[in-house]
Structures are given as structure tokens and as C-alpha cells.
Chains A and B, each alone.
Chain A
Amino acid sequence: MESPLETFPLFMLGPVPIMASVVVTWAIMAVLVSGAALLSRRLTPVPSTAQAIAELLVGTVDQQIRDVTGAAPASYRAFVGTLFLFILIANWSSLIPGVTPPTATLETPAALAAIVFLSIIYFGIRDGGVGGFLRGFALPNPVMIPLNMLESVTRSFSMFVRLFGNVMSGVFVIAIVGSLAALLVPIPLMVLDLLTGAVQAYIFAVLSMVFITSAVEKGKPQPAPEIEES
């Protein structure tokens, strides 16, 4: 059985080894970018079917962002929406025979988690300034500074392991069952894998949204503590 923790280069581009997951990633990126360009080229007030589907998608993403953060979705829509769509299509690319989803290898989830880690810093500094972002680490009191710093790394790491583990285990189980009984038996597992892929894409987007919101909220100037009357 091939180890799921290793990757093997598909071919060499000069001195650079090209992995299969990189090729699949670029294919997904090409599909997403060209699809978005085609859909948004001719926008009409009375939408065609394709435009209606795209509007439904954007509207759903906006509504989810509004529900999770309570803020205007415009500044997060591009980042979170792209993250969700990319992971969803990457997870579902296992349906194409011979394609291993790039999220089932170590590098892609690690890269996505690193992007989320950097975007938390970016959005935190953009909305609260450097001082506000750094002050967020000292909440609720300065004793928590080491723990908060540790947490900011471990939560990105746990996003990485969660996405990798879920998708990889799905692919792995299908490979094992397929090696035992290849005809029709793996199909229920593949359906389950579709559900897991969708849920994981949703979870990844929502969690990155939650973490960004917490960094933004902590960076805001603190109001004077209110005395609750009850």
C-alpha cells in the first residue's frame, strides 16, 4: 500500500519536480478563473440561468458571512468565497477517475492553512492597526499572551490536519475497499466522501471567518466596561 504521507513527482520541469497535486491544483484554478470570467463577462439585469446560479452562490456566501461575523460581507467575500469554492472543487475532484484530490496530500492543506494564518494577521492589522492587533494578544489579561500566541499557531495547524486527515482518510478507505471489491462496492463510500468534502470545505471557510472576526473584534478599541444591571 502506498503511503498517504508521501508524494511522488509526476515529471520534472528542469530541476523542479512537479507533483500530481500541483497539476490538479492548477487545473482547478484554471477552471475557477475561466468560469468566473465567462460568467461575469455579460451581466444582465434579467439573469440567464448561469448568472442566476452564480448570483445564488454569491448571495449564499454573503448571507453566511453576515451570519457568522455580523459585519458587511464585501471585504471578506473574495477571500472566504474563493477558499470555499476551491476546497469544495478540490475535494470533489476525486470523482474524476485517476485524480487524487490535492487536499489529500500534505502540501495543499498546509498551504491553505498558512494563507489563513497570514490573512488573520492581515485583516487584524487592516482593521485595528498594528497596535490594536498586538493588543488583542493581551486579552483578557496579559498573563494570556504566551497562550494566545501559541493558540494562533495551533489553530492554523489544526485546520491543516483536519482538512488533510478528513480528505485523505476518505481517499484511503476508498482505495482499500476498491482493492478488495472494486465493482459498485465503493460507491456508497464515495457518496459519503462527497458529503465529507462539502462539510470540510464549509468548516474550513467558516472557521477562517471566525478566526478573522475574533482578531478584528479584539483589535477594536475597547469600550469602558459596562456594569450590568440585573
Chain B
Amino acid sequence: MDYVPLISIFCAAFAVSFGALGPALAEGRAVAAAMEAIARQPEAANTISRTLFVGLAMIETTAIYCLVIALLLLFANPMMP
């Protein structure tokens, strides 16, 4: 029985699922804060939403890293026979 593919697939799913948790919570907080800021200062909506987009992309990168790690495990695993 070869355990490497089994463990690789499990770890890939594990990495994506738990890697998506943190960014999801963080993006929720960021959007909530931006909503509040826009509600307080509607005239600054342009600046706030631009900063929000850049910040969301930054946060999302951590989830993308996990996705890339998962793909590396599945498709470019050096241990895989």
C-alpha cells in the first residue's frame, strides 16, 4: 500500500479548506469596516472602495498561496511515484 498519493490528496484538501478560513474571516471584517466608513462618510466612498479592493486582494493572496500549495501537492509532488 502506497500512502503518498493518499496523504497528498488529504493534505491538499486540508490546505485549501483551512487556508480559506482565515482570509474569509479577514475579508468579512475588512468589508464590514469599509461599509461602516462609507456609511459615515459617503463622500469618501471612492477612496475607501479603492483601498478596500487593494486590501481585499492582499488578503486573498494568502488563500491563493494555499491553492498553489494544494496544486503543487497534487500535480508537482516530488514524492509521488
For B61, give its contact among A68, A158, A199 (CB under 8 Å): A158
Contact of B54 with A by CB under 8 A = yes
As a 0/1 sequence over residues 151 to 175 of chain A, the CB contacts with chain B under 8 angstroms (1 = contact) are 0000000100110111001000000
Give chain B's interface residue range (CB within 8 Å of chain A). 10 to 19
With A3-B76, A5-B72, A67-B50 given, is the CB distance from A165 to B64 under 8 Å? yes
Interface string of B54-68 (1 = CB under 8 A from A): 100100110011011
Q: Which of A6, A67, A169 contacts B64 (CB 8 A)?
A: A169
Q: Is the CB of A206 within 8 A of B75?
A: no
What residues on B are CB-neighbors of A3 within 8 Å? 71, 75-76
Q: Provided the pairs A162-B61, A166-B64 are in contact, do residues A4 and B75 lie with their beta carbons within 8 angstroms?
A: yes
Q: How far is the CA of A95 from the CA of B58 in the complex (A)?
A: 26
Q: Is the CB of A161 within 8 A of B68?
A: yes
| A207 contacts chain B at the CB level, 8 A cutoff | yes
Which applies to chain A's interface (DSSP): helix, strand, loop or mixed? helix
Q: Name which residue of chain B comes closest to A4, CB basis.
A: B71
Please name the residue on chain A nearest to B57 by beta carbon: A203
Closest to A158 in B: B61
Chain A 190-203 per-residue mask, 1 if CB under 8 angstroms from chain B, else 0: 00000000011011
Please, how many angstroms separate the alpha-carbon atoms of A68 and B54 in the complex? 11
Flag whether B53 is at the interface (Cβ < 8 A). yes
Q: Are B53 and A165 in contact (CB under 8 A)?
A: no
Q: How far is the CA of A1 from the CA of B46 in the complex (A)?
A: 42
Specify the chain A residue showing the minimal Cβ separation from B76.
A5
Task: Name the interface residues of B33-63: CB closer than 8 Å to any CB of A.
Answer: 46-47, 50, 53-54, 57, 60-61
Bound-state CA distance A169–B63 (Å) is: 11
**B residues near A, CB below 8 A?**
46-47, 50, 53-54, 57, 60-61, 64-65, 67-68, 71-72, 75-76
